[in-house]
Every structure is written in C-alpha cells, then in structure tokens.
Amino acid sequence: MSDREIEEQAAFNLVYKWFLGLSTEELPPDHTTLCRFRARLGAEGFEKLFNQVVAQVRDRGFITDRLHIIDSTHIAARVDLFRLKKEHQGKGEDDDHYVDRHSPDPDARFGRKSKEKSFYGYKAHKVEDADSEFIVKVKTTPGNVHDGTQLPALVDGRAGEATGDKAYDSEANHAHLAAVGVTSGIIRRQRQPGRPRHSRRERPKIERKFSEGKNRHGLGKARYWGLAKVSIQSFMTAIVINLKRLVKLTLGGETVPQPA
C-alpha cells in the first residue's frame, strides 16, 4: 500500500480512523507526512524502534536465547529487470560487483538464490530466536553480499547456540562463535565425525518468517530505492511480525517452550 493509499484509507475507512484515534469527520495528515517521518528517523531510527520492541519482548521473558537461527532472504529491487537483463546480458548476472549506472536504484546488486537462479536487489539478513520465534536481529545489504560474511554482525554472546546453513561454514565464523561463547550449530560443508546437532532440524523455522514477510507484508520486493530506505522496509516488516507474535502470545494463550 502506497503512502497515498494509506492517506485515503485513513480519510474514509472507519477502522483506520479508530486505530489512529481520528473522529469520523477528522482528516488525516497529508501522505507526505509519512515520507518526511521516514526521512527524519532514517534507518538508524527504525533500528532503534526494532531494538526497543525486542527489548520489551525480552523483558517479558518470551525470548529464551537457547538457539538463534540465522539466514537471509532476497528482496527484488524496484527496477525494470527485463530491461536490465536485456541490455546487460552476459555481463551483469555473473558479476557480483556489477553496477548498473542507468538504474534508478544504484545500491542494488546482482545476487544468487541458487546456482541457477539470480536476482537483482538486496538481502535481508535476520536472526530468529528458535523457541519464541521472534526476530532478534536484522541487517540489510546489497544482493551480492555473501551470507557468511554477516554472521559476526548478527550473532552476539546472548545465544547458547547459533545455527545456519552451509553458507555460514567458515573458520572465521566458527572462531567468532567460540570467542563470544556461543556453541556452533552451523551446518558443515563437509560431514564431520559423530552425529549432527539436533539444532539443524530447527533451521527451517526461519523460512516461515521469510514467507510471512513476503506473502503478507510485501518484503519480496523493495518499495523504495536505495539501501537506506530498503533497510527501513526490512526493519518495519520485522517490527510488524514481532508485534503480531507478541499479541498472539499475550492474548492467544500460546506459550513459549522453555529450555530444559
């Protein structure tokens, strides 16, 4: 929904008016107010809001920190990808550092969902608390940034264990986890002696959050141009998903499994 559409709904939809505290005859602020508000807070301001929500959830004892799951999902840039591929076929998708200087979004980059599938845009890197299913960390990067390089910025010493797919399997990441006192549940590229950790079975939980973000909150495609504004979109989506989860736990009677 665009800012103009939000203004229109707030002007005529009684549900929106009730939520915003407006009387039936009262008009909402102009849609440009939303744009100015986002610009004034910036990505750092929205990160603070996100962290405040996580802190409140943590204070209420929902987050257990038994296991943190790290992963990323792609966000398609708001560009004409057909034109981009047609004009730069053979020299864009295979170059991780390729910059389309004619693109309206100069911060976007080519990345890969798999060996066969590429995308042009950004990555939302997230960490989920496995027991409570709250998102506890968010970072957005251009699409060409490798997942494994982001683990040190996303995993601190709070978790008892951290898990992720093979993209995070590196000596540097295992060393970082050891340094901050977190057990490594990262899936290895090469099979290690002994039985695999049970935590790897919980890794798919974060995929449900990505699905929710894309299917219900538009995270699959960037609403704006530029890394800063797409970062705001990532934080806003995570805030909404966390607040929905908080309401469900608070009013729905659902409980969070506690570590043994």
Domain identity same for 19 and 61: no
Considering the domain boundaries, does residue 175 fall inside one? yes
Q: Dihedral of CA 133/139/140/141: which sign? A: negative
Considering the domain boundaries, does residue 259 fall inside one? no
Considering the domain boundaries, does residue 18 fall inside one? yes
Pairing of strands 161-163, 67-76: parallel
Domain identity same for 113 and 11: no
What is the model's pTM? 0.86
Domain identity same for 66 and 16: no
Domain identity same for 52 and 98: yes
Considering the domain boundaries, does residue 260 fall inside one? no
Domain identity same for 97 and 25: no
Q: Measured between alpha carbons, how far is 163 from 205 in angstroms, rounded to an integer?
A: 11
Domain identity same for 22 and 68: no
Domain identity same for 236 and 206: yes
Considering the domain boundaries, does residue 256 fall inside one? no
Q: Are the C-beta atoms of 71 and 126 separated by less than 8 Å?
A: yes
Q: What is the pLDDT of residue 190?
A: 81
Per-residue pLDDT reduced to its tens digit, 87-140: 555 554 555 556 666 678 889 998 988 778 888 899 999 999 999 999 999 999
Q: How many domains does the chain have?
A: 2
Considering the domain boundaries, does residue 257 fall inside one? no
Domain identity same for 182 and 141: yes
CA–CA distance from 81 to each of 2, 84, 96, 103, 220 (Å)?
21, 5, 16, 10, 14
Q: Measured between alpha carbons, how far is 122 from 115 in angstroms, rounded to an integer?
A: 17
Domain identity same for 146 and 228: yes
Considering the domain boundaries, does residue 36 fall inside one? no
Range of the domain at 106: 42-251
Residue with tokens 């909402």: 28
Q: What is the pLDDT of residue 2?
A: 73
Domain identity same for 175 and 69: yes
Residues of the chain with pLDDT under 70: 1, 81-102, 193-196, 260
Domain identity same for 108 and 202: yes
Considering the domain boundaries, does residue 54 fall inside one? yes
Domain identity same for 123 and 5: no
Domain CATH for 161: 3.30.420.10
Q: What is the pLDDT of residue 38?
A: 79
Q: What is the pLDDT of residue 89?
A: 56
Q: Measured between alpha carbons, how far is 251 from 184 in angstroms, rounded to an integer?
A: 35
